[in-house]
Amino acid sequence: MDDVPSTMVASAPGDALVGVAIQLEPRRQPRLSIFFRLLIAIPFAVILALFEFVAFIAVVGAWFASLVTGRVPQGIQKFVTTFIQYYLEFLAYVLLLTARLPGLSNRVARGPRPELAIEQTDLNRVAVFFRLLLAIPAAIVGALFGIGTEFYVLAMWFVGIFTGRVPRSLHQSVALFARYQTRFFSYFWLMSPTQPFEGMFGDEIEEDGTSETLAEPTEAAPPPDGSESTVNVLDPSARWKVSRSSSTLAKVSLGLGAVGYAAIIGLMTIALSGNTLNAFSASVNAQGAYHSFYLNYRTYNITLAGCTTTSCATSAAVAADQSVSATIQTFQANVPASQSPQPQYNNYVSAMIVVQEDYAQAAHVASVSDARQGLSTLSQDMVSLRNTGDAFITVVLSL
């Protein structure tokens, strides 16, 4: 377009590539608008969410129709394209690429509107059927690209609230991310058969310091008929020529995203593995404690069955008492109460102490028959110990 200023470059939709046009020369923006950008964007985000919900339903219908006809119905194509256009405008606004509010005309907007061009074309039915799987690599790249871009937007925000203009290299790098995301949505939502990878770091590269200093584009007065002026209309058929530093920053952004994502996953893994190991250790100690109690119970029963003297019975009880006492101390040392779920932990330890007291009483019986009569109570307390132990282990493993 001859009347489009040379600072306004965009991307070409050749070979069904989605054309995206964003102002690549950063314009001056009101400082307050930059400072309160996210707050101002809230009502537009609500509109976007509602718009997206309806558009998603339309895309589901388009998916079934495309499987049959190999083409998205024209009405759905137009409607979803309108949604992606609004998404592009919202993204550009939130990412500080423009001060123009999403969805507004030139008469009430500040700066040229980001433009979108999607040519309706035939779709491969197999690719449509597997679109969700085919889009996974691009979605991963977009997520990593976005994580890194967040750092740039934060830097742009700090600079912008003081100067009213964001750095050109950061602006162009973030614009590359916005174009990638717009192309990804267009592909994922069946508006285009082309993956978004082409030109993700720029279509053409200019050496830093070689570009001319161009005047700020001026706002044209709206035509008398109320239509928008063409002077401030961007051309989505042009190629993006970005500075080498901007292209490099876009690549670094992708790397930052990968590093950031790896760090997040690593920290989560460490935290989860720590919890898992602690839970596993607690459950192992709880099971070990019960097995130790059960072994003492069996040994005491067998020994008591062969006793003919009181001293034999009391000696067996003393040995069992000392053994379970050591088991309780070991369990409490390995599984601190402060790190264990309550009241299950206290219930389990209390059940251990009750069994220990049974042995302590058996150590002072007057006869073998008295010791054997105490086996009934000991057996019941052992059942209670097993139940409280199972309850403790269940809770620990569920944490």
The tens-digit pLDDT sequence of the chain (399 residues) is: 333 333 334 444 445 678 999 988 899 999 999 999 999 999 999 999 999 999 999 999 999 999 999 999 999 999 999 999 999 999 999 999 999 999 865 554 567 889 999 988 899 999 999 999 999 999 999 998 998 899 999 999 999 999 999 999 999 999 999 999 999 999 999 999 999 999 899 888 887 665 543 333 334 444 444 444 444 567 777 789 899 999 999 999 888 888 877 877 776 666 555 555 577 778 888 888 888 898 888 888 888 888 889 999 899 899 989 999 999 998 888 888 777 777 888 899 999 999 999 999 998 988 888 888 888 888 899 999 999 988 888 888 776
**Do 235 and 283 share a domain, yes or no?**
no
**Do 104 and 202 share a domain, yes or no?**
yes
Residue 376 is encoded by which pair of tokens?
């009934």
- Long-range contact pairs involving 261-270 (C-beta distance under 8 Å, separation at least 24): 261/143, 261/144, 261/147
Residue 295 belongs to domain with CATH number: 1.20.120
State the average pLDDT for the chain.
Answer: 83
Q: Is residue 362 part of a domain?
A: yes
Residue 161 is encoded by which pair of tokens?
């609230």
d(CA 209, CA 205): 12
For the chain, list the strands marked E by DSSP.
19-21, 115-117, 204-206, 241-243
DSSP-assigned letter for residue 111: S
Residue 43 is encoded by which pair of tokens?
């009502």
**Do 112 and 53 share a domain, yes or no?**
yes
pLDDT of residue 4: 35
CA angle 108, 109, 113 (to 5 degrees): 140
pTM value is: 0.63
Number of domains in the chain: 2
The secondary structure of the chain in percent helix, strand, coil, rounded to multiples of 5, reads: 65, 5, 30
**Do 175 and 287 share a domain, yes or no?**
no
pLDDT of residue 147: 87
Amino acid at 171: H
**Do 278 and 332 share a domain, yes or no?**
yes
Kindly give the pairing relationship between strand 115-117 and strand 204-206.
Answer: unpaired
**Do 153 and 33 share a domain, yes or no?**
yes
- Nearest to 199, CA basis, from 175, 217, 170, 218: 175
- Nearest to 236, CA basis, from 302, 182, 298, 295: 182
**Do 235 and 290 share a domain, yes or no?**
no
**Do 296 and 195 share a domain, yes or no?**
no
Q: Is residue 221 part of a domain?
A: no
Range of the domain at 99: 14-207+231-239
pLDDT of residue 210: 55
- Burial class from Cβ neighbours inside 10 Å (0-12, 13-18, 19+) for residue 371 reads buried
d(CA 355, CA 348): 11
d(CA 398, CA 283): 11
Q: Is residue 349 part of a domain?
A: yes
| CA distances to 34, 59, 88, 143, 159 from 39, in Å | 10, 30, 18, 23, 18
d(CA 102, CA 78): 18
Would you mind telling me the total number of residues written for the chain in this entry?
Answer: 399
- In the beta sheet, which residues pair with residue 19? 117
Residue 47 is encoded by which pair of tokens?
């509109």
**Do 78 and 19 share a domain, yes or no?**
yes
d(CA 52, CA 179): 18
**Do 192 and 45 share a domain, yes or no?**
yes
Q: Is residue 9 part of a domain?
A: no
- Nearest to 298, CA basis, from 382, 225, 226: 382
pLDDT of residue 105: 56
**Do 72 and 171 share a domain, yes or no?**
yes
Q: Is residue 260 part of a domain?
A: no
pLDDT of residue 236: 77
Q: Is residue 266 part of a domain?
A: no
**Do 202 and 286 share a domain, yes or no?**
no
Amino acid at 329: Q
Q: Is residue 92 part of a domain?
A: yes
Amino acid at 93: Y
Residue 358 main-chain phi, psi, to 5 deg:
-60, -45
242: three-class secondary structure by DSSP? strand
d(CA 381, CA 300): 14
390 Cβ contact partners less than 8 Å away, ≥ 6 residues apart: none
Q: Is residue 131 part of a domain?
A: yes
In whole angstroms, what separates CA 61 from the centre of its chain?
28
